[in-house]
Amino acid sequence: MKSVTILGATGSIGVSTLDVLALHIDQYRVFALTANTQVERLFDQCTKFQPDYAVMFNETAAEQLADKISTAGLSTQVLSGEDGLTKVAAHEDTDIVMAAIVGAAGLLPTLAAVKKGKRILLANKEALVMSGQIFMDEVNKHGAELLPVDSEHNAIFQSMAGSLTGGLNNRGIRKILLTASGGPFRQTPIDELKHVTPEQACAHPNWDMGKKISVDSASMMNKGLEVIEASWLFDARPEQIEVVMHPQSIIHSMVEYVDGSTIAQLGQPDMRTPIANALAWPERIDAGVSGLDMFAVGQLEFEQPDMNRFPCLRLAYEAIEAGGTMSATLNAANEVAVEAFLNGKIGFMSIPYIIESVMQSVSVKPATSLENILAADTEARDAAESLLIEMLNKTDKMAN
């Protein structure tokens, strides 16, 4: 019986993970569940799965959850804050950690699990985007088992026959073909993108995801972050990772070998498949997902991405080429910009403008320590917030 801790249990990945675990209660038990502020949802999950621990990052939310847990007579112990997240991720009774906290907040608890040699199901791409070399060094140092959960990286992992080490050249691989749906604005006229709403940006045609990752998908920043993540996971140079637009989201990614073979992983656009693959690897378990009806699929389409339409993808390639802390800067500026867009403060095309401006204004430092990385994260957020205030003040003056 394997014990599972889910960092980010109330998000779409966390919910899908619990769906898979519910099919295999004879093999897995839920040890800990964590969330930020969604008290009601986490309480419902605690009622159903009876974890040993529940952690709310927000302390007020933790107090509310503790009251509900006590009233219901559950034995689950409630913790709070980053210390609580780190404790359950690194706990000796945790075997598997699903790292599904969105954004930079997932970095430190995921690293804590790595340092205890856990099996890490990595859905938090920001951990590698921010601290790729440090993160992978810690994985190797402590013998942690790192398995990718992002559908694209899991597809690459499967197409490489389950290997993360050795570099592409040593495995006879020419390049990685990272597929992208193109999101909701793949065919929207570029001059109309500045008018799109958060609701439109979050209406992904194929995937059911949280708001932040949905906006990232619409801007293609999500794919840019995946390029950076893939370079660290698979020891690949940026020029060995090619983004391919594939609107059906049936092929989740491909690997091209030097003999001309291209191996692809196909499946429904359902995150339960890569979750089940990483959870049980090298075995296979039922994910509750139906197989593909190839006759219903009919045909598959592929396009080259338009960097004018999706400048965030270009910025991600520039960040990884710059090296050092620039990827952390990119990620931090994007998080600030996306939050501002979701709150109706800026337009959609202001997202890449803010990111590029911040990347040009801050200095790049060696990403040799967590202190440098976290300092770069803070500096980029401050720069993005300052730029945002300038933009809002200018808008107010124009309105008056």
Per-residue pLDDT tens over the stretch 208-267? 777 898 999 999 999 999 999 999 999 999 999 999 999 999 999 999 999 999 999 999
User: Peptide bond before 282: cis, by omega within 30 degrees of 0?
Assistant: yes
Q: What is the pLDDT of residue 204?
A: 78
Q: Are 268 and 214 within 8 A, CB to CB?
A: no
Amino acid type, 64: Q
Q: Is a pLDDT exceeding 80 seen at residue 306?
A: yes
Q: What is the pLDDT of residue 158?
A: 95
Q: Is a pLDDT exceeding 90 seen at residue 395?
A: no
Q: Is a pLDDT exceeding 70 seen at residue 396?
A: no
Q: What is the pLDDT of residue 106?
A: 87
Out of 3.40.50.150, 3.30.420.40, 1.10.1740.10, 1.20.1250.20, select the CATH number for domain 323-399. Answer: 1.10.1740.10
Express each pLDDT in 30-75 by its tens digit.
999 999 999 999 999 999 999 999 999 999 999 999 999 999 999 9
Q: Which residues contact 359 (CB under 8 A, 6 or more apart)?
A: 315, 318, 319, 322, 326, 329, 330, 333
The CATH number of domain 2-148 is 3.40.50.720: yes
Which residues, in sequence order, are bridge partners of residue 55? 34, 79
Q: How confident is the model at residue 8 (pLDDT cuts 50, 70, 90)?
A: very high
For the segment 266-282, the average pLDDT, to the nearest whole number, is: 96
Q: What is the pLDDT of residue 170?
A: 86
Each domain of the chain, given as residue ranges in start order, spans 2-148, 156-297, 323-399
Express each pLDDT in 135-194 by its tens digit.
999 999 999 999 999 999 999 999 998 777 777 888 899 999 999 999 899 999 999 998
For the segment 320-348, the average pLDDT, to the nearest whole number, is: 96
Q: Is the dihedral of CA 311, 312, 313, 319 positive or negative?
A: positive
Distance CA(12)–CA(211), nearest Å, equals 10
Q: How confident is the model at residue 291 (pLDDT cuts 50, 70, 90)?
A: very high
pTM confidence score: 0.91
Q: What is the pLDDT of residue 398?
A: 57
Question: Which strands form 28-35's sheet, in the order they lie side by side?
Answer: 77-80, 53-56, 28-35, 2-7, 96-99, 119-122, 145-148
Express each pLDDT in 87-122 by its tens digit.
999 999 999 999 999 877 888 999 999 999 999 999
Amino acid type, 254: M
Tell me the percentage of the chain whose pLDDT exceeds 70: 98
Tally of CB atoms within 10 A around 28: 21
For 193, which DSSP code? G
Amino acid type, 378: T
By C-alpha distance, which of 281, 279, 272 is closest to 252?
272
Q: What is the pLDDT of residue 399?
A: 54
